[in-house]
């Protein structure tokens, strides 16, 4: 519990070979001089006055031995002002510098926000301090540093902080409490050492005038400190009222509360928008059919059913062009290639024309390897744009306008959260955490999609590579989150993480088919039903076309587009085996072909070409893989410092 709110550097040693003994002697002589010249704090004393209104005035007197190594212009002192209580809720203490001096005279200083508080730089940036001993004094005001418990009040105070890189020869503190407290009713204790230590290398007593006093009994090493506890009866210092505590809670957690409120508003908006525009029209009757729906190409069927383009759509387009005699597909040593063939290109769909012209514009053949990465990247981009322009608004809508409104609302809420709930390095971490969450989520979604699309060895390899690529980003996200939690609450972290997640989720949920798109999708589902041989008796009653090699080849690109090439091929195993006895083989494919293994052939070819396209479009090297309950460093105050 806390009280009321604040207004708030290597010397190169020459090796002297002819005279080793002389060298040892010189070294022995030099050691004491070097030790005495070490930069250190020779004395660290703190006078702490606890006022009746629960505020504190602290004067620190720090004597240092400066050698212009780290202590050049002066020293700096860090004061933590941001803490988390036992429940993980943030609270901020008041801190204000009253005066700063050096060697008995006022000294210039400046303050700077750091991740969990304020840093005070003491000294002139344009000049060095003289080598030798200097005494710095810092007087500051603080509040919300006292603990109010059921049977006593106390000051649990980190006098020196545990962040000093210099050793401290001696540390001491004297606490002045409000009048009226009997010395016998004051309890004192303390701790020394690194953060978390329960060592008690100090003397603690109450002076005859009722002032608790503390002094270390052994030097403190770098990053060790002195923490003190003074407890006194209740009623001497004004405890905060419930109203004050509520006000302080709201002030301390304003950013988190604003962010949470913004999160609720944004989520409510997205739910409303999804109900308004993101619900598909009701599906019609799904009837098996064996003709491509509305004359759509295999790539278009894939695009409509997937609500967007992908490499499988390009695969379907290339195989369909091959079936129509405009391409031949060959495979040599696991490398696929496509070659122009003298077929009638007028039979090709617009997007198939774009794919062929982009890949074979000035060549007769091209290998699907990453040596042609730039060609495939250009072809994929043009192919996708062609699909978007033809079908993007006709069959479904992504409702990007609604998504953009939600993104702007999220940005406004996050800016308010940054402004009210994060300062300095914490604000930077907040921004970085938000962006990194979006990146990590996108990569995770890509990995999940890759595993869902696994249909063979190449696709497993591709999914594994996608996952391995995503893992370092997810690991970095966890590290950033851990660093973020050092200066922010779990609630604020949740707010920062949920904003990008909600936007990404609803970017998907806002997509919906148009009535025309839903009707076409019904036909696509009917074609898929036929290819999967679902409801065989019903299909036979509808007099489907005879199973011939021509029908198999005609609809194979559609089966690949819909991911049912294996089921489709299994139906033709006997037909194609018999045809192969008569010399049949696909004229558009130059590679190993065994009709008895047609299901594996079709499935392998579809997934392998998709994987080859994916690999070919990636340039080489572009991917990577009190009562003893305290301890040193506990309580209020603390921080540390160094030279500058």
C-alpha angle 313-318-321 in degrees, rounded to nearest 5: 125
Secondary-structure breakdown of the chain: helix, strand, coil percentages, each rounded to the nearest 5:
45, 20, 35
* Structure tokens given for 406: 């939600």
Distances (CA, A) of 274 to 398, 438, 486: 11, 20, 37
Alpha-carbon distance of 482 to 255, in angstroms, equals 19
Cα 638 from Cα 331, distance rounded (Å): 70
What pLDDT, on a 0 to 100 scale, did the predictor assign at position 558? 92
pTM recorded for the entire structure:
0.62
Between CA 73 and CA 80, with CA 74 as vertex, the angle to 5 degrees is: 130
**What is d(CA 582, CA 116) in angstroms, rounded to the nearest whole number?**
81
- Report residue 396 as tokens: 């479904």
3-state class of 571 per DSSP? coil
Parallel/antiparallel/unpaired status of strands 225-232 and 153-158 = antiparallel
CB atoms within 10 A of CB 569: 24
Give burial (CB, 10 Å; 0-12/13-18/19+) of 18.
exposed
* Closest alpha carbon to 607 in 447, 373, 450, 383: 450
Q: Which of 495, 348, 528 is nearest to 422 (CA)?
A: 495
Q: Which two tokens stand for residue 277?
A: 């525009």
Half-sphere exposure of 402 (CA within 13 A, CB side): 23
Q: Which helix (H) or strand (E) holds 207?
A: none
State residue 623's pLDDT score: 36
| Digit-coded pLDDT (tens) for 231-247 | 988 888 888 878 888 87
Tens digits of residue pLDDT in 42-65: 999 999 999 988 888 999 999 999
Model pLDDT, residue 571: 81
The torsion angles phi and psi of 253, rounded to 5 degrees, stand at -115, 25
- String of DSSP letters for 86-109: TTS-EEE-EEEEEEEEETTEE--E
Which residues, given as ranges, of the chain have pLDDT below 70? 1-37, 84-88, 115, 370, 420-433, 436, 445, 447-463, 480-488, 534-544, 591-641, 643
171-185 confidence digits (pLDDT tens): 999 999 988 788 888
CA 519/CA 396 separation, integer angstroms: 11
Q: How far apart are CA 558 and CA 294, in angstroms?
A: 13
C-alpha span between 269 and 409 (Å, rounded)? 9
Alpha carbon 244 to chain centroid, angstroms? 36
Looking at 124-259, which runs of residues are DSSP E strands? 132-143, 146-148, 153-158, 171-176, 187-193, 202-206, 212-216, 225-232
Determine the length of the chain: 644
Beta strands in 281-350 (DSSP E): 327-332, 335-340
123-139: b or e for each residue (b if 16 or more CB lie within 10 Å)?
Answer: beeeeebeeeebebbbe
Q: Which two tokens stand for residue 338?
A: 């496509």
Residue 224 to residue 192: CA distance in whole angstroms: 7
Domain boundaries defined on the chain: 37-249, 253-276+400-509, 294-398+512-616
Residue 57: per-residue pLDDT? 92
Look at residue 282 and give its three-state secondary structure.
coil
Show the tokens assigned to 468: 């391995």
Question: Check: CATH 2.60.40.1730 for 37-249?
Answer: yes
Indicate the SS3 state at residue 239: coil
Residue 541 has which token pair? 């009653």
* φ/ψ bin of 539: left (φ > 0), alpha (ψ from -120 to 50), beta (otherwise): alpha
From CA 241, how far away is CA 4, in angstroms rounded?
8
Q: What distance lies between CA 353 and its chain's CA centroid? A: 42
Packing angle, helices 400-421 and 490-509, rounded to 10: 170
Smallest Cα–Cα separation from 138: which of 160, 164, 169, 162?
160
Buried b (16+ CB within 10 A) or exposed e, 396-431: bbbbeebbeebbebbeebbebbbebbbbbebbebbe
């Amino acid at each position: 519990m806390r009280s009321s709110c604040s207004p708030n550097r290597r010397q190169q040693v020459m090796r002297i070979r002819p005279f080793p003994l002389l060298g040892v002697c010189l070294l022995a002589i030099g050691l004491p001089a070097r030790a005495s010249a070490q930069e250190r704090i020779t004395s660290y004393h703190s006078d702490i006055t606890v006022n009746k209104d629960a505020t504190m005035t602290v004067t620190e007197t720090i004597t240092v031995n400066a050698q212009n190594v780290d202590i050049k212009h002066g020293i700096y002192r860090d004061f933590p002002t941001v803490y988390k209580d036992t429940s993980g809720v943030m609270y901020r203490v008041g801190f204000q510098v009253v005066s700063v001096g050096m060697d008995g005279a006022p000294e210039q200083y400046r303050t700077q926000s750091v991740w969990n508080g304020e840093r005070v730089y003491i000294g002139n940036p344009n000049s060095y301090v003289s080598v030798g001993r200097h005494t710095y004094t810092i007087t500051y005001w603080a509040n919300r540093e006292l603990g109010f418990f059921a049977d006593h009040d106390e000051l649990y105070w980190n006098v020196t902080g545990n962040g000093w890189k210099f050793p401290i020869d001696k540390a001491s503190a004297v606490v002045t409490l409000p009048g009226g407290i009997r010395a016998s009713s004051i309890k004192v204790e303390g701790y020394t050492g690194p953060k978390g230590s329960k060592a008690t290398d100090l003397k603690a007593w109450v002076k005859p005038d009722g002032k608790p006093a503390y002094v270390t009994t052994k030097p403190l090493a770098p990053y060790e400190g002195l923490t003190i506890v003074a407890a006194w009866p209740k009623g001497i210092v004004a405890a905060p009222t419930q109203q004050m505590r509520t006000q302080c809670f709201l002030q301390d957690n304003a950013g988190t509360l604003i962010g949470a409120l913004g999160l609720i508003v944004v989520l409510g908006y997205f739910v409303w928008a999804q109900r308004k525009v993101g619900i598909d029209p009701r599906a019609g009757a799904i009837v098996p059919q064996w003709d491509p729906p509305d004359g759509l190409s295999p790539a278009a069927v894939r695009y409509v059913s997937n609500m967007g383009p992908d490499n499988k759509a390009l695969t379907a387009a290339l195989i369909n062009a091959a079936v129509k005699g405009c391409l031949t597909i060959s495979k040599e040593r696991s490398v696929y290639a496509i070659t122009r063939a003298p077929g009638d290109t007028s039979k090709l769909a617009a997007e198939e024309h774009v794919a062929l012209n982009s890949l074979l514009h000035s060549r007769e053949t091209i290998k699907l390897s990453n040596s042609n990465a730039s060609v495939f990247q250009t072809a994929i981009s043009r192919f996708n744009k062609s699909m978007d322009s033809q079908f993007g608004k006709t069959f479904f809508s992504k409702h990007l306008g609604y998504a953009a409104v939600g993104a702007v609302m999220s940005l406004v809420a996050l800016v308010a959260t940054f402004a009210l709930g994060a300062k300095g390095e914490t604000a930077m971490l907040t921004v970085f955490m938000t962006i990194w969450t979006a990146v990590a989520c996108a990569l995770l979604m890509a990995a999940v999609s890759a595993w869902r699309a696994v249909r063979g060895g190449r696709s497993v390899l591709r999914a594994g590579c996608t996952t391995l690529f995503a893992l370092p980003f997810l690991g970095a996200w966890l590290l950033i989150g851990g660093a973020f939690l050092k200066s922010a609450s779990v609630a604020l972290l949740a707010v920062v993480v949920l904003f990008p997640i909600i936007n990404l989720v609803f970017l998907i949920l806002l997509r919906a088919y148009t009535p025309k798109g839903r009707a076409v999708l019904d036909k696509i589902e009917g074609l898929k039903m036929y290819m999967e041989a679902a409801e065989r008796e019903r299909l036979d009653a509808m007099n489907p076309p005879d199973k011939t090699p021509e029908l198999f080849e005609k609809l194979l690109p559609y089966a690949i587009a819909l991911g049912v090439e294996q089921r489709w091929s299994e139906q033709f195993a006997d037909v194609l085996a018999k045809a192969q006895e008569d010399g049949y083989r696909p004229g558009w494919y130059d590679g190993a072909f065994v009709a008895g293994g047609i299901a594996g052939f079709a499935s392998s070819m579809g997934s392998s070409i998709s994987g080859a396209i994916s690999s070919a479009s990636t340039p080489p090297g572009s991917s990577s893989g009190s009562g003893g309950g305290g301890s040193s460093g506990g309580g209020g105050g603390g921080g540390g410092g160094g030279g500058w």
